[in-house]
Chain A
Amino acid sequence: MKIGAKLTFAFGGVILLIGISAIVSMDGYRKIHEEFELLKEDIIPGAIVMSEMVGRTHQIAHDAMDYMIAKEEEEEEEEVLIITGLGFLEKAGREHLEHERHIGEEEEKTAQELLEKIGRFNSGVMGIISLKKQGASIDELIEKEEKEVHTAMDALTKQLEEHVAIHMEELAKAEESVHKAHVFATRIVLLTTCLIIALSAAVASLITRSIVSPLHALHKGTEIIGQGNLDYKLASNAKDEVGQLSRAFDRMVEDLKVTTTSVNNLNKEISARKQAEEVLQQSEKKLRTITRSALDAIIMMDGGGNIAYWNPAAQKMFGYSSDEIIGKDVHEALAPRKYHEAYKKGIEGFKKTGQGPAVGKVLELTALRKDGSEFPMEISVSSIMVKGSWWAVAIIRDITERKQAEEQIQRYAAELEQANEELKTFTYAVSHDLRAPLLNMKGFAAELRFALELIGPSMNAALPHLDEGQRQAVTKALEEDVPEALDFIDSSAIRMDRFINALLKLSRLGRRELKLEPIDMHALVQATLKTLAHQIEERQVKVTVGHLPEMVTDRISMEQIMGNILDNAVKYLDPGRPGEIEITAERGDDETTFRVRDNGRGISEEDIDKVFALFRRAGRQDIPGEGMGLLYVQTLVRRHGGRIWCESKLGVGTTFTFTISNYLEKGGENV
C-alpha cells in the first residue's frame, strides 16, 4: 500500500472515529438538551405556575378574609383583587388542562380535577362575597369560609402542592438524566478521544513503521553505499513509495555501479591511454630519432600518391629538401620514366586495397635524383590505412656500392669459374698433353731398342772388319752408351708419368663427391689394420685402438686417411725397438679429434714442414713412396671440415692429429 493510501486510510479511520464519537456525543447532548427543554418548557414553568397558583390561592384566601372584614367602601377594591386572583386561577387551571390534555388522559383527568377544585374554591370565595352582600354576619361568613373556602382551598393547594412536588420530582429526575447524559457524553468524548489517541498512535506507529523503517533501511543503505559498497542491495518488497524509492535506489546504485565500473574502466582506460600516449610519444620520439638518423631514406606517400614524409636520409639520397618535395607526386619526382606506366596500373588497385605489386616485397629498382641521375635502390614498401585511405611507407636504400660489390663478386665468381675451368683444362692437359710426349719418349725409346736389335746381327758381322779403336767405340756405343741413354729416358719418363698420375689423383680427390653415411670408425680402423696385418705381424707391432665413435662421413675418404697415416706409421717404425701404435679419438661439440701416435723413427724439426708438401719426402729415402700420401690425407681432411697436424720428435715417435666435423650431415662438405 502506498503511503498516501496508508495516510488516507489512517486519516479516514480517525475522521470516522471522530464522526462516530461526535454523533454519539451529539446524541448525548441532544438528550441533555431535550431534558433541558423539558425542564424549561414543562417542569419549571409548570412548577412556577403551580407555586404561583398556590400563592394566589393563599392570597385570594387572604383577600377573602380581608373582604369579609372589609368595610363597605373597601369591599369593592377587595372584590376586584379577589376576582382578578380567581380569574388568574381559573385561567391557569384551564391552561394547565389544555396543556395536560395533550399529554395524556390521566394528566387531563388530574388537570380536570384541579380545575374543578379551582371552581369549588372560586364558588366558595364568590359565595362569601355574595353572602356579605346579602349582609350576612361575620360569623356566618367565617362559618361559610371555613366550610366551603377553606376546604376548597386546602384541596386545591394540596393538589397544587402535589403537582409542584411532582414537578420537583420530575425536575430532579430531569436533572439526574441531564447529569447522566452529560456524564455519558463526557465519557463518550473521553473514550473517543482516548480511542482516537490510541488509534492515531497505532496508525502513526504503523505508518512510521511502514514509512520510517524502509526510510531507515534506505538511510542505512545510503551510508553503506556511500562508503563505497556498491554491491549492497536494499531489496525492498514494499509496494509503497519507499519501496519504489528503494528499488529506484537499488537501480540507481546499479546504474551507479555500472557508471562507477564504467567510470573506473574509463579511469583505467584514461590512465592506460595516458600511458599508451606516453609510450606512443616516446615511441614516436624514438621513431623520429630513428627515421632522422636512419641511413635509409624513409618516405611516406599519402592516399593521393603525394609525398607526406621525407627524412634527412631521403634528402641526402635524392637531393630534394623536405620543403621542396612534400606534397609532390612521389612517382613523378622519384621514379624514372620507365616505371610510370607500371605505377599507374598499380596505384589504382593500391588505393582500393592497400595491395600492389611492390607492397610487402623488397625490390631492386632504379631511382631518380633531383639532378636527373639515376641510382640503384633497394625499396621495401608497406601499406598503412590512414584516415580511411591507403598510404604507403617506403624504405629505400642506395645500393650503388652493394651493386658494385655484387658486380665485383660476380666478376670474382666468374674469374673463379674461369680459373676452375682453366684448372680442369690444366688437369686435362696434364693427363693428355703431358702424357702424349711421354708416350712418344717411351715409344721411340722402345723403337730404338727394336732398331738396335735389328742392327745387332749386322754390327756383329761388321765388327771384325773394323779396327780395334773403332770396334771398341762402336761396341761401347751400342752396348753401353745407347742402352744407358735409353734406360735414363725410360726411367725419367716413368717418374714423370708417376708424378702426373699423382697430380691427377690429387685433382680427382678434390672433385670427388663425398658420400655421407654413418661410419663405425672402430670397425673401419680394424679393417684398415687388417690390410697391414702382414707387416704388423712381421714387425711385431703392438697396436692399441681406443674407443672410436660412429661418424657421419665419407667411407672412402676415411679409409684413405686412416690407410695413409697407419701405413706411414707402420712403414716408418724404428727397427731398433718394438713398435707401438695407438689410435684414439675424442668427440667434441663441433668436431671429433683422431690421434695416431707411434714410437717410430720420428721426423726432424727441419723436415716437419715437408710432411704435407707435394712430392716431398722427409728423412732417409729408404722406403719407396711418391711423397703424395699425406697431401692426399690433408686434402681429404680439409674436405671434411677438418685440420691435420703432426707432432714429432726424431728418434722418439710421431703423432698425427686430425679433426673431422660432426656436422657434415647438415652442411655437406667444407662446413
Chain B
Amino acid sequence: MSKMQEVSILLVEDDSGHARLIEKNLRRSNITNHIITVGDGQQALDYVFSEGEYTGTERASPLLVLLDLNLPVLDGYQVLDRMKADERSKRIPVIILTTTDDTREVSRCYNSGCNVYITKPVEYEEFADAIHKLGLFLTIVSAPNEE
C-alpha cells in the first residue's frame, strides 16, 4: 500500500467525459494517487519521454499507464509499441482500458507487451463496477521504480 501511494497514473483517454468518469470511479475506490490525464497518444508519449510540451519536466516515477486504444494523433497500439520498444519505458506497466472486446485486438495488445487488458463495459453500472475493481486492483499493484 505504501508503494502504491507513490505510483502516478497516466490516464490516456480522448473522451474527457470518460476520463472524468474513470477518475471519479477510481477515487470512489479510494485511489488517491496522482492522476495525469492526456487526450491523445502523442501527448502520452511526450509525457512518458519528457518531450514536446513536457520537455524539461520530470515525469512521475513510478508510473502506471491506463491506455485507451482509439486515440487521435497516435493510437493506443502505437503508444504501446513505442513504449515497449524503448528501454526507458518498457518496464512501465500498461493497462489497456478500451471498449473493444474483439479477441484479435486483445491478442494483439498482449503480443505488443501490454500487462493487463480490460474491456470497458458499455453499461454504466458495469463500467462503474469495473473501474471500482480496477481501483482495488491498483491498490495492490507494485510498479517498478526507475534506476
Q: Which residues of A contact B (CB under 8 A)?
A: 428, 431-433, 435-440, 442-447, 497
Interface positions of B from 1 to 33, Cβ below 8 Å from A: 15, 17-18, 21, 24
Q: Is B37 an interface residue when CB atoms closer than 8 A count as contact?
A: no
Contact: B15 with A440, CB < 8 Å? yes
Contact: B100 with A446, CB < 8 Å? no
Chain A: minimal CB distance from B96 (Å): 14
Which of B18, B70, B124 is the one whose CB lies under 8 Å from A446?
Answer: B124
Chain A: minimal CB distance from B26 (Å): 13
Chain A, residue nearest B102 (CB)? A431
Chain A interface main SS type? helix
Contact: A439 with B128, CB < 8 Å? no
Chain A: minimal CB distance from B13 (Å): 10
- With contacts A432-B99, A432-B100, A439-B120 taken as known, whether A446 is within 8 angstroms of B125 at the C-beta atoms is yes
Interface positions of B from 54 to 102, Cβ below 8 Å from A: 70, 99-100
- With contacts A432-B100, A447-B21 taken as known, whether A438 is within 8 angstroms of B125 at the C-beta atoms is no
Contact: A440 with B17, CB < 8 Å? yes
Contact: B125 with A444, CB < 8 Å? no
Contact: B122 with A438, CB < 8 Å? yes
Chain A, residue nearest B101 (CB)? A431
The CA-CA distance from A325 to B17 in the complex, in Å, is 79
The CA-CA distance from A439 to B128 in the complex, in Å, is 10
Chain B: minimal CB distance from A503 (Å): 13
Contact: B128 with A436, CB < 8 Å? no
Contact: A431 with B17, CB < 8 Å? no
1/0 per residue, CB under 8 A from A, across B112-125: the answer is: 00000000101111
- Give the chain A neighbours of B21 by CB distance below 8 A: 439-440, 443-444, 447
Q: Is B127 an interface residue when CB atoms closer than 8 A count as contact?
A: yes
Contact: A436 with B100, CB < 8 Å? no
Contact: A442 with B15, CB < 8 Å? no
Contact: A443 with B127, CB < 8 Å? yes
- With contacts A431-B100, A443-B21 taken as known, whether A436 is within 8 angstroms of B124 at the C-beta atoms is no
Closest 6 pairs (CB-CB, A-B): A440-B17, A442-B124, A443-B21, A443-B124, A436-B15, A432-B70
- Give the chain B neighbours of A446 by CB distance below 8 A: 124-125, 128
Contact: B124 with A435, CB < 8 Å? no
- Give the chain B neighbours of A442 by CB distance below 8 A: 123-124
Contact: A437 with B17, CB < 8 Å? yes
A-B contacts besides A436-B17, A437-B15, A445-B124, 4 pairs, CB < 8 Å: A432-B99, A435-B99, A439-B120, A447-B24
- Give the chain A neighbours of B15 by CB distance below 8 A: 436-437, 440
The CA-CA distance from A437 to B128 in the complex, in Å, is 15
Contact: A497 with B17, CB < 8 Å? no
- Give the chain B neighbours of A435 by CB distance below 8 A: 99, 122
- Give the chain A neighbours of B18 by CB distance below 8 A: 436, 439-440, 443
Contact: B124 with A439, CB < 8 Å? yes
Contact: B100 with A439, CB < 8 Å? no
- Give the chain A neighbours of B123 by CB distance below 8 A: 442, 497
- Give the chain A neighbours of B128 by CB distance below 8 A: 443, 446
Chain B: minimal CB distance from A438 (Å): 7
The CA-CA distance from A436 to B70 in the complex, in Å, is 11
- Give the chain A neighbours of B127 by CB distance below 8 A: 439, 443
Contact: B24 with A436, CB < 8 Å? no
Chain A, residue nearest B25 (CB)? A443
Chain A, residue nearest B120 (CB)? A439
Chain B: minimal CB distance from A505 (Å): 13
- Give the chain B neighbours of A497 by CB distance below 8 A: 122-123
Chain A: minimal CB distance from B40 (Å): 15
The CA-CA distance from A428 to B100 in the complex, in Å, is 9
Contact: B99 with A436, CB < 8 Å? yes
Contact: A443 with B17, CB < 8 Å? yes
The CA-CA distance from A442 to B70 in the complex, in Å, is 20
Question: Which of A435, A437, A440 has most chain B Cβ within 10 Å?
Answer: A440
Chain A: minimal CB distance from B107 (Å): 17
Question: Which of B21, B120, B127 has most chain A Cβ within 10 Å?
Answer: B21
The CA-CA distance from A428 to B70 in the complex, in Å, is 10
- Give the chain A neighbours of B100 by CB distance below 8 A: 431-432
The CA-CA distance from A629 to B25 in the complex, in Å, is 37
Contact: A439 with B70, CB < 8 Å? no
Chain B: minimal CB distance from A492 (Å): 13
The CA-CA distance from A443 to B122 in the complex, in Å, is 10
Chain B: minimal CB distance from A512 (Å): 13
Chain A, residue nearest B15 (CB)? A436
Contact: A439 with B125, CB < 8 Å? no
Chain B: minimal CB distance from A638 (Å): 24
Chain B: minimal CB distance from A545 (Å): 36
The CA-CA distance from A440 to B20 in the complex, in Å, is 9
The CA-CA distance from A444 to B123 in the complex, in Å, is 12
Question: Which of A437, A445, A446, A497 has most chain B Cβ within 10 Å?
Answer: A446
Chain B: minimal CB distance from A160 (Å): 185
Contact: B70 with A444, CB < 8 Å? no
Q: Could you list 28 A-B pairs, sorted by A, with CB under 8 Å?
A: A428-B70, A432-B70, A433-B70, A435-B99, A435-B122, A436-B15, A436-B17, A436-B99, A437-B15, A438-B122, A439-B17, A439-B18, A439-B21, A439-B99, A439-B120, A439-B124, A439-B127, A440-B15, A440-B21, A442-B123, A442-B124, A443-B17, A443-B128, A446-B124, A446-B125, A447-B21, A497-B122, A497-B123
Contact: A439 with B122, CB < 8 Å? yes
The CA-CA distance from A432 to B14 in the complex, in Å, is 12
- Give the chain A neighbours of B120 by CB distance below 8 A: 439
Contact: B99 with A431, CB < 8 Å? yes
The CA-CA distance from A439 to B119 in the complex, in Å, is 13
- Give the chain B neighbours of A436 by CB distance below 8 A: 15, 17-18, 99
The CA-CA distance from A446 to B131 in the complex, in Å, is 14
The CA-CA distance from A444 to B25 in the complex, in Å, is 12
The CA-CA distance from A428 to B128 in the complex, in Å, is 23
The CA-CA distance from A437 to B16 in the complex, in Å, is 10
- Give the chain A neighbours of B122 by CB distance below 8 A: 435, 438-439, 497
The CA-CA distance from A433 to B18 in the complex, in Å, is 12
The CA-CA distance from A435 to B127 in the complex, in Å, is 12
Interface positions of B from 101 to 147, Cβ below 8 Å from A: 120, 122-125, 127-128
The CA-CA distance from A276 to B24 in the complex, in Å, is 99
Question: Which of A437, A443, A497 has most chain B Cβ within 10 Å?
Answer: A443
Question: Which of A431, A432, A439 has most chain B Cβ within 10 Å?
Answer: A439
The CA-CA distance from A664 to B130 in the complex, in Å, is 44
Chain B: minimal CB distance from A428 (Å): 8
Chain B, residue nearest A429 (CB)? B70
Contact: A444 with B17, CB < 8 Å? yes
The CA-CA distance from A433 to B70 in the complex, in Å, is 9
Chain A, residue nearest B128 (CB)? A446
Chain A, residue nearest B28 (CB)? A450
Chain B: minimal CB distance from A441 (Å): 8
Chain A, residue nearest B70 (CB)? A432
- Give the chain A neighbours of B70 by CB distance below 8 A: 428, 432-433
- Give the chain A neighbours of B124 by CB distance below 8 A: 439, 442-443, 445-446
The CA-CA distance from A436 to B14 in the complex, in Å, is 10
The CA-CA distance from A497 to B124 in the complex, in Å, is 11
- Give the chain B neighbours of A439 by CB distance below 8 A: 17-18, 21, 99, 120, 122, 124, 127
The CA-CA distance from A440 to B120 in the complex, in Å, is 12
- Give the chain B neighbours of A443 by CB distance below 8 A: 17-18, 21, 124, 127-128
